[in-house]
Amino acid sequence: MTRLHDPSVHSFASDNYAGAHPEVLQAIVDANGGHVGSYGADPYTRRLSEVVVETFGEGAAIDPVLTGTGANVAALQALTPRWAAVVCATTAHVYTDEGGAPERLGGIKLLTVPTSDGKLTPDLIDRQAYGWGDQQRPQPLAVTITQSTELGTVYTPDEIRAVTDHAHTLGMRVHLDGARLANAAASLGVPLRAITRDAGVDSVSFGGTKNGLVLGESVVTFTEEARAGLVYLRKMDAQLASKMRFVSAQFLAMLDGDLWLRSATRANAMATRLATGLSALPGVTVTQRVDANALFVVLPRHAVEPLRATHHFYDWNRATGEVRLMCSFDTTEQHVDRFIADAGALIG
């Protein structure tokens, strides 16, 4: 096959733009050859189940899936009955960027709450957590939070525990959208279980693609109640991979060692480096805390399009001129310093 892209091109548009980590590609190669069982009846998926217990603690179970949207929909369906509603932030990916899949495919009403930093608190949850027993109102029976958030901020373990304790007191379950869970844990310097199982979360959509996998996400559950029906929902939601060994092998490469941490730490460090360099330029405003691998910044308007043409990134709020810059496991100091230098030359 002829290569159809320039591998030297780097983008700050999304960590989804990055290729696969070489160790992940090697894991796929190692899992290839011969015949093994399909639909998860293979040695790689069995070993992954053991590694997940080692990573998250006794009682943890993993169900590999194909997409992040599929992981979120299946996880939320497993947590809620047909008449339930789920409380989330207005910036939550399940609300803004999944084509209505939780509501249209999952049949789950989303009750949104505005936040200044993308994070929910017990008080914010209470703005939608009411009306139980009222047949006219969707029943709020779950909360979903995002770690790290769509604004790049990170919940501390104590902040998550406050959410889960409050939700559980109200009879609600808690799901965590962890598309960038590794980045959050690396930022906090804590193990993955500290911001999931140990903080009282019921289930997690654990991301892989944004941290160096070719494809593949997963649902990690911590209770039998959170897992109930998931084996059926994964198939119903078109998320059951027949050759699952290749998805599981990628997660093994990430979790059975420290690849998840190395990749996330690199991406986070590059975002911090980028924020430091840009904030020193006149007319540049960093609008959110840089906790993980995302940077939200307002640039002088005349510099935006020339910079976008070379480095590519997305607008976040066109009204204010705010843009989002994402760093990945393969972002280097040279990529960051070139962006800062180009911005400095344009801004003056």
Strands (E), 222-341: 285-286, 294-298, 314-317, 322-326
Q: What are phi and psi of 220, to 5 degrees?
A: -110, 125
Are residues 248 and 106 located together in one domain of the fold? yes
Q: Which domain holds residue 132?
A: 22-255
Please tell me whether residues 247 and 265 are part of one structural domain.
no
**Are residues 250 and 185 both part of a single domain?**
yes
86/205 same-domain check = yes
- 228, 255, 282 - which closes a domain: 255
Query: Both 88 and 186 in a single domain?
Result: yes
- For residue 140, name the pLDDT band (cuts at 50, 70, 90): very high
Residue 161's pLDDT is 98
First to last CA, the chain: 44
158 and 216 fall within a common domain: yes
**End position of a domain, from candidates 238, 255, 272:** 255
Q: Is 271 helix (H, G, I), strand (E, B) or coil?
A: helix
Which whole number is the average pLDDT over 85-102? Answer: 96
Q: What is the pLDDT of residues 292-306, one digit of tens each?
A: 999 999 999 999 999
Structural domain contains residue 5: no
Cis peptide before 148 (omega within 30 of 0): yes
Q: What are phi and psi of 326, to 5 degrees?
A: -115, 135
Distance separating alpha carbons of residues 88 and 110, to the nearest angstrom: 7
- The count of C-alpha atoms lying within 13 angstroms of the C-alpha of 115, restricted to the half-sphere facing its C-beta, is 25
Amino acid 178: pLDDT: 98
**Pair 278, 212 in one domain:** no
98 within domain boundaries: yes
Whether 204 maps to a domain, the answer reads yes
Of 316, 279, 318, 275, nearest to 293 (Cα)?
275
- Are 183 and 316 in a shared domain? no
Q: What is the CATH number of the domain that holds 176?
A: 3.40.640.10
Residue 304 located in a structural domain: yes
- pLDDT on residue 348: 80
The enclosing domain of 340 has a CATH number of 3.90.1150.10
What torsion do the CA atoms of 86, 92, 94, 96 make, to the nearest 10 degrees? Answer: 120
Do 264 and 237 share a domain, yes or no? Answer: no
Same domain, 75 and 210: yes
Give a yes or no: residue 26 inside a domain. Answer: yes
Look at residues 255, 273, 296 and tell me which one is the last residue of a structural domain. 255
Structure tokens at 224: 């039998």
Beta bridge partners of 239: none
Q: Is residue 1 a part of any domain in this protein?
A: no
Q: Is 226 in the same domain as 93? A: yes
For residue 223, give every residue at least 6 positions away whose Cβ sits within 8 Å of its Cβ, in sequence order, or none.
Answer: 59, 202
Q: Using one digit for the tens of pLDDT, what is the confidence trace for 43-61?
A: 999 999 999 999 999 999 9
> Do residues 136 and 230 both lie within one domain?
yes
Number of structural domains in the chain: 2
Q: Helix, strand, or coil here: 176? A: strand
CA distance 218 to 300: 40
- Residue 13 within a domain: no
